[in-house]
Every structure is written in C-alpha cells, then in structure tokens.
C-alpha cells in the first residue's frame, strides 16, 4: 500500500485522499506485535484483528470501515489496543454494516464511535468506552462501562438522543 511506512515496531498508514483504494487491496489486516498508526482519513479493511500488546493509534479524524466479506468475526480488538489520546469519540469512528461478530476486549479506556447496527458486539474486560456503540446485539461483561458522550447528540453518527428499543436483566 502506497501510504504505508514502517519505523521500528510501528506501522503508519496515511489514507488515500481520493478514497479510490478498494477494501480488497487492504484485505484482512492483522496487527501484532507492531503498532498501527492511522493518520486522519478513511480506511477500508475487509477485516481488522489487533492482538497482544499491539495498539491502533488515531492521529486526527479517523474513520475505519469494515467490509467483513467472507468472515464471521470481521473486527477483533484485544489487549490495550485502541488509543485515541484526544478522548474525542468523533476522532475515531468504526463502521460495519454486516451481521458478523465484533469482539472488543481490553483493560484501557478509549474514546470512539462504533456503528454496527446489524452486528453482535461483545465488550469485555475492564476498559471503559467513551462515545457510543450502536449494535444489533450488545453484550457487556467485566468491569468496563460505556459512557455516552453527550456532545454526540448533535455530531457524529448518532444524531439525536440515544434510544434503547429493549432491555432485560439476566442472571448469570
């Protein structure tokens, strides 16, 4: 990929400003043990897997679109894998329109918008998410919390007040 540079254990991607690079050319991206730095822009991956101590760092306004063709788990983020030091969830948006599974596991808080209205999303571990998660089904285990950023009521992918269509308590 033309906008790719490696320095030590860090890989930096700079988005194609014309958005002409199809997801097939980025394909299934697996990060680890190296870190992935995404400069401002839109990135289209078929799937994204980040494991171990690897990190994905958003520099500026980053949008990640996941196609998820031919995979049941198109997005897996484990460990302390997301870094958005601005703590502005609008600076890291992850969009997936498919029906696959998304797994977010870790122990570090982050700020992001996850928009996957048809997917099953599992949030586990002790890390908090500042921003919003829109999912077809959401399962939260561990000590982490989702803290809705009220600034998103007029910006981002979640325009308007958050609405819950159903809720029930289960005994585990």
pLDDT tens figures, 12-50: 777 666 555 544 457 888 887 778 888 888 888 889 988
Q: What is the pLDDT of residue 115?
A: 93
Q: What is the pLDDT of residue 24?
A: 44
CA distances from 32 to 27, 57, 66, 77, 97 (A): 16, 13, 18, 11, 25
Give percent helix, percent strand, percent coil of the chain, each to the nearest 5. Answer: 5, 50, 45
Nearest to 120 by CA among 97, 107, 136: 136
Query: Between vectors from CA 131 to CA 21 and to CA 70, what angle results, nearest 5°?
Result: 40
DSSP-derived pairing of the beta strands 4-7 and 10-13: antiparallel
Given pLDDT bands bounded at 50, 70 and 90, which one contains residue 164? Answer: low
Give phi and psi for 90, each to the nearest 5: -65, -15
Q: What is the pLDDT of residue 135?
A: 93
Residues whose CB is less than 8 angstroms from the CB of residue 110 and which lie 6 or more positions away in sequence, other chains included: 82, 83, 84, 92, 127, 128, 129, 130
Give the pLDDT confidence of 88-136 residue by residue, as tens digits: 999 999 999 999 999 988 777 788 999 999 999 998 888 788 899 999 9
Question: Is 72 a residue whose pLDDT tops 70?
Answer: yes
| Residue 142 zone, left/alpha/beta (φ > 0; ψ -120 to 50; rest) | left
Q: What is the pLDDT of residue 172?
A: 42
Give the pLDDT confidence of 133-144 residue by residue, as tens digits: 999 999 988 888
Residue 25: in which H helix or E strand, if any? helix 23-26
């Amino acid at each position: 990929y033309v906008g790719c540079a490696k320095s030590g254990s860090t890989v930096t991607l700079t988005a194609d400003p014309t958005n002409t690079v199809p997801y097939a050319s980025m394909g299934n991206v697996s990060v680890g043990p190296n870190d992935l730095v995404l400069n401002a822009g839109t990135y289209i991956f078929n799937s994204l897997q980040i494991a171990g101590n690897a990190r994905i760092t958003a520099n500026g306004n980053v949008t990640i679109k996941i196609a998820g063709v031919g995979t049941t788990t198109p997005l897996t983020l484990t460990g302390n894998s997301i870094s958005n030091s601005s703590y502005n969830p609008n600076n890291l948006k992850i969009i997936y329109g498919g029906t696959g599974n998304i797994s977010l596991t870790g122990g570090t808080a982050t700020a992001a918008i996850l928009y996957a209205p048809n997917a099953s999303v599992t949030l586990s571990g002790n890390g908090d998410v500042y921003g919003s998660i829109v999912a077809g089904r959401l399962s939260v285990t561990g000590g982490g919390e989702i803290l809705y950023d009220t600034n998103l009521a007029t910006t981002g992918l979640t325009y308007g007040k958050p609405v819950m269509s159903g809720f029930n308590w289960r005994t585990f």
